[in-house]
Amino acid sequence: MAELLKVTELGKDLREAINKLEVSGDLESVGIVTRVGDGVAWVYGLRSAGASEVLLIETKSGTVEAFALNLNEDEIGAVLLGSDEEVVAGAKVTLKGTILDVPVGEEMLGRVVDPLGKPLDGGPAIKTKQRGLVEREAIGVLGRKHVHEPMMTGIVSIDAMFPIGRGQRELIIGDRQTGKTAIAIDTMINQGRQKTGVINIYVAIGQKLSKIARLVDRLKAEGVMDQTIIVATGPSDPASLLYLAPYAATAMGEYFRDNKKHALIIYDDLTKHAVAYRQMSLLLRRPPGREAFPGDVFYLHSRLLERSAKLSDKLGGGSLTALPIIETQAGDISAYIPTNVISITDGQIFMETDLFNQGIRPAISAGLSVSRVGGDAQTKAVKSVGGGLKLGLSQFRELASFAQFGSDLDEETKQQIERGQRLTELLKQHQYSPMSIWEQVASIRAVTSGSFDKVPVAKIQEAKTAMLTRLWKDHKKEMQELNTGAEKIEDESKVAGLLDKTAVAVAKGFED
Ligand SMILES: Nc1ncnc2c1ncn2[C@@H]1O[C@H](COP(=O)(O)OP(=O)(O)OP(=O)(O)O)[C@@H](O)[C@H]1O
Ligand SMILES: [Mg+2]
């Protein structure tokens, strides 16, 4: 039998309430709040409660829900899902009889909700046929299949050099204000533009509501809001809601994954999530470890990201792709939370402050970014031109670093540097302008094949746009075919000839 609470420490009313409970023999299914504050309630009794079980706390004006997080021998630490103002010591607590769950289904599409699935967009109440568990075991190895279908971001540098596949977990990492969110948003927009049918789920963790409102407006204007769910929490929401947001959103994503569909989930960002968890844990008096995070902070994110998967054919072949975002301090990817998340994802897109400030945007680092599983998922067309891109870029970076020390360069080196400058220029891409497969292929080839060698660096973007316009106007059918991405671009092939001919002709108009 658990040791009883030291009854002398408690107030008279509370003592009486506990005595009554002990006499009644209801300690299994009934509890009493002993203290409350900062969104956390401690409950004596309720011995049959399990982790994540929903508790009902009686207050003057109805019940407040909470979920059990700390199961100690004689006490439960519970996180309140509503305001703690009405909850007082001595309040009666019972079990709701369910594990925490949220509404899931098609009905959620187009909506902005809180982590409990309640609308935040002023729209009607959401009625779904199904609910999904906020905490759920990840699917085992046998239920999975290797990642093999592309999840096109529309961002040339990513699709060509660090391709992402459906079911993959690719981290977006970088300092503040380096374009991390922009990558995620463009990827969502691309799902609409390319009509991929992929469902977007965007999780805002502790973000200003004005920012979320702007995002919703943008997604509506782009026509992708009706295939999107936004799970939002603001900076003034209790830590418990910030903590729940990614799990609740994942449950919403799993619905699509488990129903043979494809969904993309963006966690923006997991740094704030870890901080919310730390706050909750300290309030629950868990022993702090490194950087004051509780010891299980690794498990916090690993059990979350494990739920993203490409399912086996037997399970319907659906997928959930995750793009978690992590904010670094001064580019330090070896800090505690960044290394944790790097180790549980299948690669990372690293954003560099220096590149961003030089105007090279998206500021994706070619050296520190990697995608470990997406290669198989890359379309043949992009793959066949993308190889030259990565090579050209890495040779350029190497050469450029020592070329600045001397002016005597041989012709070949000079040419490689010139080519590298053009590639760098080509990879600059404005926000909200994801590119389709044929546009990516044609642009990359124009530079890597040398067709644009005589176009001045400053005019590369202009020449690219002119070339794409011309290709679409004169060869729409071929471009549509190229856009399926199914065919490799062989140098001798008809489409390669067509691309090169057009690129060379357009380049003539831009030469000095
Ligand atoms: N490709 C781009 N071209 C031009 N501007 C961009 C591009 N990507 C991002 N920006 C601009 O840079 C700024 C920062 O972008 P964003 O908010 O995506 O960065 P972040 O890393 O998510 O920032 P935070 O750390 O504040 O969340 C924004 O004003 C955005 O409009
Ligand atoms: Mg951001």
Q: What is the pLDDT of residues 31-60, one digit of tens each?
A: 999 988 888 899 998 888 888 899 999 999
Query: Ligand 1: which residue has its CA nearest to atom 8?
Result: 179
- pLDDT of 337 reads 96
The answer for 330, left when phi > 0, alpha when psi is -120 to 50, beta otherwise, is: left
Tokens read off for 451? 């067709």
120/114 Cα distance (integer angstroms): 6
DSSP string, 133-163: ESS-PPP-GGGB----SB---S-HHHHHHS-
Alpha-carbon 23 to chain mean position: 51
Q: Is 278 within 8 Å of 294 (Cβ atoms)? A: yes
Pocket test for ligand 1, best of 157, 173, 180 (most atoms within 8 A of CB): 180
- pLDDT of 51 reads 83
Nearest ligand to residue 153 Cα: 1
| Counts of helices then strands in the chain (DSSP H, E) | 15, 16
180/185 Cα distance (integer angstroms): 9
Calculate the average pLDDT of the chain. Answer: 91
Tell me the CA–centroid distance for residue 337 and ligand 1, in Å. Answer: 22
Partners of 199 in beta bridges: 263
Helix (H) or strand (E) segment spanning residue 478: helix 476-482
Residue (of 385, 380, 490) closest to 444 by Cα position: 385
237/277 Cα distance (integer angstroms): 13
- Least confident range from 74-83, 238-247, 263-272: namely 74-83
Distances (CA, A) of 275 to 68, 114, 235: 20, 19, 12
Q: Listing from the earlier edge strand, what are the strands of the sheet with 171-174?
A: 112-113, 228-232, 199-204, 262-268, 319-327, 171-174, 347-351, 370-371
Per-residue pLDDT at 84 exceeds 90: no
Q: Which amino acid is at 78?
A: A
Residue (of 7, 39, 11, 34) closest to 89 by Cα position: 34
Among the listed residues 372, 397, 419, 445, the single catalytic one is 372
Per-residue pLDDT at 7 exceeds 70: no
Per-residue pLDDT at 170 exceeds 90: yes
The question of whether 372 is a catalytic residue gets the answer yes
Query: Ligand 1: which residue has its CA nearest to atom 30?
Result: 179
Threshold 0.85, pTM exceeds: yes
Nearest ligand to residue 431 Cα: 1
Pocket test for ligand 1, best of 361, 364, 425, 461 (most atoms within 8 A of CB): 361
Q: Decide: helix, strand or coil at residue 435.
A: coil
User: Does the C-beta of 184 come closer than 6 Å to ligand 1?
Assistant: no
pLDDT in tens, 150-165: 999 999 999 999 999 9
